[in-house]
Structure 1
Amino acid sequence: MELPLVKVLCITLVVSGLVKLVALGAGWGLVRLKVAERWRVYRRELAPGQLRSEAWAAVGVVLCDALLVGLFRYFVGHRMAPFSVPVALLSYAWMFVGFEVWFYVTHRLLHTRALYRFHAQHHVAQVTDPLTSLSFSLVERLVLMGGGFGLVLLAMEVMPIAQAGVMAYILTNYFLNVIGHGNTEWLPRRFVSSWLGRLFFTPTFHALHHARYQGHYGLFTVVLDGWFGTAFEDYPRVHARAREGQGLVRIGERLSAAEVPEPLPATTGAGVGGAS
């Protein structure tokens, strides 16, 4: 028996809200670990009023997501294919690759003068924190969610798509967004030059986007930024600095090719934002 729309929306709000809360809680827990203090990408305080602004935006995002996902599930959910491992994996891969392209294109457009006002809320954070992962204007959130729904609808026309694969991607998206906005570099120095690092992002990669505004438009991969020339040349050096406990202290700071970070013998004590 099909649930009434109001009940579907309420269930979606509770589940979606709890998932986001768990992701945020995990993110805040990680960045407050003693070991994380050493690996800050930017050793600066958050901007005055940043957390308050991001919290209000996050409330709107949680409500917006619940409404849109609930409506989509109610009207389109019956078209999903029955679960099977191959279909779920194919669905996950489709969403991951497709949303990377959608995000890169729309992100670059939102950085144009005509559209930036819809993206400005996300850039309240020059130095990011886990809550930045939910800090969007409603217009931008509609663009992002619309891309996700569009990918599902398009897939339904050409192949089976399983709810499990789509949901697995959504969970990946939530948790990696929190990690990526944590201003803490968890991955070792060798990662950036490895084959994995030539495909996938790091927290440093996205921290540079927030500090510099232009460049590093990708979501969880670095591929499109490499192809279209929007990657920062000093990204590997900034990553190495963060891992050596020598995170940047100036927003506009660029590292020259000659700059090689030296390992620090002891952990540097900096709070969530680091030293100002």
Structure 2
Amino acid sequence: MLLEFLATWGAVYIAMLAVYFATGLALTWWNARHPERRIQENRRGETRMAEEIRHSLSALALSSLLLGTGFFAQGRGWTPTPLELSWWSFPLGFVVSLVIFDAWFYFGHRLLHWKPLYRFHALHHKSVAPTVWSNDSSGLVDTLIEHGFYLVVWFVLPVPALSVFALRLFDQISGMIGHSGFEYFAGASSRAPSPMICSTFHDLHHSQFRYNFGNIFSIWDRLLGTVHPGYDAMVRRMESGETPGKATSRH
């Protein structure tokens, strides 16, 4: 059983590394072709790439352990019996898990900004101007709090395994885009009244620390008053044709 568990963990880890490096290299190539889309014009985070990748390797190992352990437990029958995979159970499981994970991440992230725990999150905030490699540049306690969902979800929801893996894939790719430091998706769908966000949303969190704790949606930030007060105006200016650097430099 131990060998089976280790094989499961290893397979998940290898898959996550493949997604991490493939997404990172693709975004790096694309960003180099569009320097005008850089959000922070006067800062460069690329010099931290080697350090961010090094920390990401250990963080992804832990994240993969959490995800792999839940998957292994479900396969052994130690969790609630999952819904049979079908045309409706897969998207339902994905959406429900997505909404719950977004809340989990928001409150876990707020907790990590609490002074007694911030030391566990400080490593991630060394990336003041984040890059595609910053997404997983975190310590183990930080990763455990924010990604603990990927272990717990199997034991509380009868969710098909494919739904959880799809969520983890979406979270990884969207997180790397959100940390990329370049804006491509600012528009009406990423500002009020829409709950969706764009890369500028999380970039503001890294540059100013006190706002925008959400991961996928802005719902909790708006409800609890932690959304950056100038975020929606910045997005509107980008809609009007301003470059991300100019649109965000006024705040």
TM-score, structure 1 length as denominator? 0.80
Q: 1:140 is aligned with what amino acid?
A: D
Query: What CA distance in whole angstroms lies between the structure 1 residues aligned with 2:68 and 2:188?
Result: 42
| Structure 1 residues 202 and 143: alpha-carbon distance in aligned structure 2, compared to 1, 3 A threshold | same
* Rounded Cα–Cα distance in structure 1 between residues aligned with 2:155 and 2:196: 26
Corresponding residue for 1:266?
A: none
Give the superposition deviation at 1:194: 6.4
| Corresponding pairs, count | 245
Deviations 1:35-94 (A, max 9, x none): x31122111332585223212211111222233333332223344433112111111011
Conservation of the 8 A alpha-carbon contact between 2:186 and 2:198: no
- Work out which of the two has the higher radius of gyration on C-alpha atoms and give 1 or 2: 1
Counterpart selection for 2:160 from 156, 159, 162: 162
Flag the 1:8–1:201 CA change in 2: closer, same or farther, 3 A.
same
Counterpart of 2:197, as a letter, is: F
2:217 maps to which residue?
221
Cα distance in 1 between the residues matched to 2:137 and 2:46: 15
1:10 is aligned to 2:10 = yes
CA contact (8 A) 1:184 1:203 kept: yes
**Contact 2:125/2:206, CA 8 A, preserved across alignment:** yes
Q: What is the CA–CA distance in structure 2 between the aligned matches of 1:48 and 1:66, rounded to whole Å?
A: 26
Q: 1:6 offset after TM fit, Å? A: 3.0
Give RMSD over aligned pairs: 2.5
> Is residue 75 of structure 2 the alignment partner of residue 42 of structure 1?
no
Higher RCO, 1 or 2 (CA under 8 Å, sep at least 6)? 1
Once the two structures are superposed, what CA deviation does each residue of 1:116-136 show, in whole Å capped at 9, x if it has no partner? 101111101111100011111
Distance 1:143 1:188 in 2: 29
The answer as to 2:49 corresponding to 1:20 is no
Identity, % of aligned positions: 24
Structure 1, residues 207-229: CA drift from partner, whole Å, max 9, x if none?
Answer: 11100000101111111111111
Please tell me the residue identity of whatever aligns with 1:90. L
Could you tell me which amino acid in structure 1 is paired with residue 198 of structure 2?
T
Change in Cα spacing, 1:15 to 1:193, as seen in structure 2 (3 Å) is: closer
Show the 5 A alignment for 1:89-108.
Answer: 89-108=91-110
1:211 to 200, 207, 231: 207
CA distance in 2, matches of 1:191, 1:90: 22
Please name the residue that 2:128 is paired with: 126
* 1:239-263 alpha-carbon deviations (Å, 9 max, x no partner): 355551261599xx653xxxxxxxx
Contact 1:216 1:230 in 2 (8 A): yes
In structure 2, list runs of 5 or more residues that go unmatched. none
**What is the distance in 1 between the residues matched to 2:99 and 2:242?**
32
- Which amino acid in the other structure matches residue 171 of structure 2? N
Bigger Cα displacement from structure 2, 2-11 vs 137-146: 2-11
1:5-36 CA-partner distances (Å, limit 9, x unpaired): 23223322222221222222222223222xx3
